[in-house]
Chains A and B, each alone.
Chain A
Amino acid sequence: MRRALGIDLGTTHSLVAFVDDRNRARVLDLDGSGPLVPSAVRYAASRIDVGAGARDAAASAPGEVVLSVKRLMGDGARRLHVGAAGPAGREVTPIEVSAEILRALRARAEAAFGAGELGGCVVTVPAYFDDAQRAATRDAARLAGLELLRLVAEPTAAALAFGLDARREGTFAVYDLGGGTFDLSILRLEAGVFHVLATAGDTRLGGDDLDAALADRLGLPGDPATLLAARAIREALTDRDAWEGVLPGGARARVSRAELEEAIAPVVARTLGPARRALADAGLEPSALDGVVLVGGATRTPLVRREVRALFGRAPLTDVDPDTAVALGAAIQADALERGGRDDLLLLDVVPLTLGVETMGGVVEPIVPRNSTIPARATQEFTTHADGQTGIVVHVVQGERELAADCRSVARFTLRGIPPMPAGAARVEIAYDVDADGILHVTARERTTGVGQEVHVRPTSGLTEEEVERMLVESVLRAEDDVEARALAEGRLEAAQVLAALEAGLREDAGALEPGEREAIVQRMAGVRAAAEGTDPYALRAWLSSLDEAAKGFAERRASVHLARAFQGKTVEEI
């Protein structure tokens, strides 16, 4: 049978693991010195190097070496200039650099197993990677010529390595502090199902940041070579109380563990917020957990262990190798998928960040809430707001903030091919599918015709801002399944009508106002206006009711004034 691979594509190191003939997961010794390959790529004049040699050249040839490229994944516009300075060098994307690492790992696995023996692979990603970061990783795997069976979240993979063979059951937290990313996942392990209840994290927080904090404390610059030296000092201080040696730049220095901990404490503290949120989202107190698992090389740092112990009120479990657990779990899952599934094993993972759509006023309408089990699907119905409008722009974002501008933009899609109809007549159903890799797919169809005609979905490009503005969906209408969205849309409509009527009334019939009444009405009008721009139908309803109460007397007096005028007019005509 072909050999499936589990690949831990890390910020500082990468590993490959496989399941051997005796059904045990094992890491592959990739270059004779152990399983960890530095995630470093050197673009030399005549060839591309990956691994320890490339990393070690970071000091002598900094312009040729790319380190920690994982931190740039998902940044579509990012170009790195590598090789010689000027036109002799070239521009590469983070996806291409990651693909070089994967290609090197694949070549070494082929050397170990034989070229024709490789099956599919599982590549791991931080649980908190968003849609763009996951899609970039998938593309890197394809570019490297790998058959990607699945992207798996790193803490989930680690839980698999931790729980499967030992047949562990219960609720566990996985605290995963890698080279550049932090994840905290809460999982329920039961009868071979690894069920993620909640996840939280920070994709820009890891061992690299600990090293940068130490370098800063020592008054050193933050270049790659210095950071490597800082890491060596930090790692040396795991088992010792003091380090003495030569710093980059030539000065001799002594660093105590207390000094290190003072420098890195603020960075370690940043892991606690996501950890608490994951617990809250899972609805659990720390005492309800059966154990805490540490993953990632940076969790060897004593301060990290102490903070974890303080937060969870228990010592972390130590029977997991923090360096290899992710790759081993990925190998088990890759092997299962290669075989078409296993009866005694299933991973149920979640989407880490809420997916939403930008609506009126730049406000986000949530579509798939965070911690929804994947695959997940949600549908929404939109309509047009101009006569003959044949396109709609949908802006999908990911994040927990209320305004789209504060969230990560996933994609702007243009739906084209809507038959020309009066405003509001077209009914376009948009389906958002998050697949088992955590990647979003959008499809749309126009339903008025009853035929379910497909509408083209493509990323918007080449459109002017004006066009986008004109086509942007202003509000979600007719969302039959979504009571709140509908209540909000109705409330906004009512608010617009009431505000227009009262503005006219205050202008034309100020004489009908009683003392102090204008202030009370104007204040509540401001409240209605603000609530109509928000997303909360309940707040809007409360404000509308309050305004109604405040303006009731005025409205009645206005009506009688108009009635009186009408009668007068009639009298005049009759004369």
Chain B
Amino acid sequence: MTDPFAALGLPRAQALDLADLDRRLRERAREVHPDRFSRAPAPERARAAAASAALHAAHRALKDPLARAEALLALAGRSVQGARPAPEFLEAQLAAREAIARGDGADARESARVALAGCERKLAELLAPGAGVAALDGAVAALVEARFHASLLRAAGDPPATPRPGQDR
């Protein structure tokens, strides 16, 4: 896969300053955006459009903490595919979903939010530079669980857990 960190000139790490990420997008967009080539020959314009779309895709992959973790794992040769959480975890997920479907899921939502934040903290530790290969298994597990929590919150109609610009994670 292509390296979104390289595309934005960032070190490969889960912790990221989102305001800085956005700033890097703006700086690089200046160089490649099609508007800068509005009077250039067609092939050059097409190249600008492709480079610009690739830059935006890299930014998308890094902006969301779970997509960022997946990108880091992929760069380390790890896939989340086929990784499954423990049966007890899945049973708990099911119970939480049923509670939300019944209309009394306030507790389930709150604990999903707390659990998701916990997974994200764990990912930041396990996917820090120098965390070592041994940490990757734990990171895969944390990412898989985080996805379940995020999916549950989406299903419950929570606003997207977009982190605040400027917040250091």
Q: Chain A interface (Cβ within 8 Å of chain B)? A: 149-150, 171, 188, 190-191, 193, 195, 197, 277, 280-284, 288, 336-341, 343, 346-348, 369, 372-378, 433, 435-436, 481, 483-484, 486-487, 527, 536-539, 541-543, 545-546, 548-549
Contact = CB atoms under 8 A, between A and B. Distances in A.
Contact of B57 (A338, A377, A486): A377
- List 4 tightest A-B contacts by C-beta distance, closest first: A340-B39, A283-B162, A377-B53, A341-B36
Nearest to B154: A536
Contact of B152 (A188, A537, A538): A538
B56 A373 contact: yes
11 contacts: A150-B38, A282-B165, A288-B164, A336-B35, A340-B37, A341-B36, A343-B30, A348-B33, A377-B57, A436-B52, A536-B151
A349 to B, nearest CB: 10
Given A374-B56, A483-B70, A543-B94, A341 B29 contact: no
A539 B97 CA distance: 8
Interface of B: 1, 22-23, 25-26, 29-30, 33-40, 49-50, 52-54, 56-57, 59-60, 70, 79-81, 84, 87, 90-91, 93-94, 97, 147-148, 151-152, 155, 159-160, 162-165
Contact of A538 (B35, B148, B165): B148
Contact of A376 (B37, B53, B70, B81): B53
B109 to A, nearest CB: 15
A346 B34 CA distance: 10
Contacts of A486: 81
A360 B71 CA distance: 28
A373 B25 contact: yes
Contacts of B70: 483
B35 A377 contact: no
Contacts of A340: 36-40
A375 B163 contact: no
B140 to A, nearest CB: 11
A487 B81 contact: yes
B17 to A, nearest CB: 14
A347 B35 contact: yes
Given A348-B29, A377-B54, A538-B147, 17 more contacts: A171-B165, A188-B22, A188-B165, A190-B26, A195-B26, A281-B162, A283-B162, A337-B39, A341-B37, A346-B35, A348-B26, A376-B57, A483-B81, A527-B94, A538-B151, A546-B91, A546-B94
Contacts of B1: 481
A527 to B, nearest CB: 8
Contacts of B37: 340-341
B152 A545 contact: no
Nearest to A534: B155
Nearest to B35: A341
B147 to A, nearest CB: 6
Contacts of B163: 283
B36 to A, nearest CB: 4
Contacts of A537: 151
A63 B162 CA distance: 51
A377 B165 contact: no
B151 A284 contact: no
Given A348-B29, A435-B49, A281 B160 contact: yes
Nearest to B70: A483
Contacts of B52: 375, 436
B19 to A, nearest CB: 9
Nearest to B86: A545
Given A195-B26, A283-B165, A539 B151 contact: yes
Nearest to A370: B160
Contacts of A548: 87
A375 B35 contact: no
Nearest to A435: B49
A191 B151 contact: no
A193 B159 contact: no
